[in-house]
Homo-oligomer: A and B are copies of this chain.
Amino acid sequence: MLTDVSLEVGLAAVLERITPLAGEAVPLLQALNRIAARDLSAARDLPSHRQSSMDGYALHGDDLGQRDNFTLQKCLRNGEWPDAPLLPGQAVGVVTGGPLPEGTGAVAVQESVTVQGEQLFLAVPPRLGANIKLPGEDFLAGDLLAKAGARLDPGLLAVLAAFGTGEVFVYRRPQVAILSLGNEIVPGHMLPLPGQLWDSNGPLLAALAMGDGAEVVSVAVAGDSCTGGVRERMSELLEQADLLLTVGGGAFGICDHALAELQGIGTEILFWGVDIKPGSHSGAAVWRSKPVLSLSGNPAACAVGYYLLAAPVIRSFQGLNPYLERVTAVCIDDFPRSGGPRRFLRALAACRDTGWQVTLQPGQKNSMLRSLVGCNALVELPAGHQPLQPGSPVSVLLLH
């Protein structure tokens, strides 16, 4: 068992145990924001045939520049397939996106012609190919539409719909269970006794995991550890879920039993303790190839542990890059403290004229929730850092 590892060593120890989950076919619209589990390619040309790109009149290729009056044969309506080829001297009305009769050399737009009964007079002759959309203009058969690991955005779903795709093969959503171990924690539907607290880490982790594409199967409080029920509860949740997040009890105080409980159900402990602040009391284990992450009960430490250790697992399960995007930003606030381990301050990042800028969230104590409201970035300060002066460049992890 590794103890007090660096973040990189700890995260690598967990990620090397993770492989993407199986794929599943889901109906097109349910695939929104899911991750493609296979490369997606164009089954045919799009459009599949020549189309008019304007409302107007199809003219024969041989007539272009040769003639200015035509016999109007018919007007094709939307969805109507031409029943005869176009002959020289003829014109056929066509609509935007509609198919063109064989022999069409160009489409004259409505505004360039005069129609009198069956006669059509051309004021401005179109050039060859004018207002004709060629087969495969948007995509050619075999074109790669998206690689496995791509997120299905509205545009990609629309492209798939244009090919008649009914279902998309995407990675299964990781199922996540959350268990708070503290005896002092009660779930939201119960009334706390003196000294007890409502569970806020459970809802925090559930919301964060949902935002990362997970399905939360349980948000529970273990209750009294003395009854021995904690181990049964952990095993039950691990049967159901792909990932178990436990909260609290990860330090070495008199009430800290997370490590003992995890060892008690036969997990392999990957590491215990990480050299970061907040979040130092984080640990990781594996139970029958399923990961367990033990996060701190202090809210800010719980959130940082989630972002740096749990979110990468949830992303890996979906075939995504596990790592957060790192940028350099100017920090407009100061941070007077110095020294100690690597620190991750909760921050708000925005793009300015000079690139990324961050402000520090109010309430940077581990025990406070306040810094998590509206937080979209973590400012990383190296171990033994100096006090941070306003306007300093800092290394930032973007959370969205």
Query: Hey, which bits of chain A sit against chain B, CB under 8 A?
Result: 28-29, 32-33, 46-47, 51, 53, 55, 75, 77-81, 93, 95-99, 110, 133, 137-139, 145-146, 153-166, 182-185, 188-189, 191-204, 206-208, 210-211, 216, 219, 251, 253-255, 297-299, 303, 327, 351-356, 363, 365-375
Contact = CB atoms under 8 A, between A and B. Distances in A.
A236 B368 CA distance: 51
7 contacts: A78-B255, A81-B193, A137-B367, A154-B211, A162-B299, A166-B188, A351-B355
A197 B255 contact: no
Contacts of A99: 194-195
Nearest to A28: B203
Contact of A202 (B110, B153, B161): B161
A55 B251 contact: yes
Given A29-B219, A253-B110, A255-B95, A157 B204 contact: yes
Contact of A207 (B32, B133, B182): B32
Contacts of A207: 29, 32, 153-154, 157-158
Nearest to A302: B158
Given A195-B98, A196-B79, A203-B28, A303 B155 contact: yes
B200 A162 contact: yes
A373 B159 contact: yes
Nearest to A255: B78
A158 B327 CA distance: 27
Contacts of A33: 211
A31 to B, nearest CB: 9
A96 B137 contact: no
A81 to B, nearest CB: 4
B188 A161 contact: yes
- 5 A-B pairs with the lowest CB-CB distances in the bound complex, closest first: A155-B372, A79-B184, A351-B351, A154-B207, A158-B204
A187 to B, nearest CB: 9
A191 B363 CA distance: 59
Nearest to A151: B374
A230 to B, nearest CB: 13
Given A203-B28, A251-B96, A154 B369 contact: no
B158 A299 contact: yes
A304 to B, nearest CB: 12
Most chain B beta-carbon neighbours within 10 Å: one of A80, A133, A204, A369: A369
A195 B81 contact: yes
Given A210-B32, A211-B32, A363 B158 contact: no
A330 to B, nearest CB: 11
B182 A79 contact: yes
A372 B188 contact: no
A198 to B, nearest CB: 5
A158 B201 contact: yes
B29 A203 contact: yes
Nearest to A139: B370
Contact of A254 (B55, B139, B253, B373): B55
B182 A297 contact: no
A367 B53 contact: yes
Nearest to A167: B188
Nearest to A164: B198
A368 B41 CA distance: 16
Most chain B beta-carbon neighbours within 10 Å: one of A146, A201, A355, A367: A367
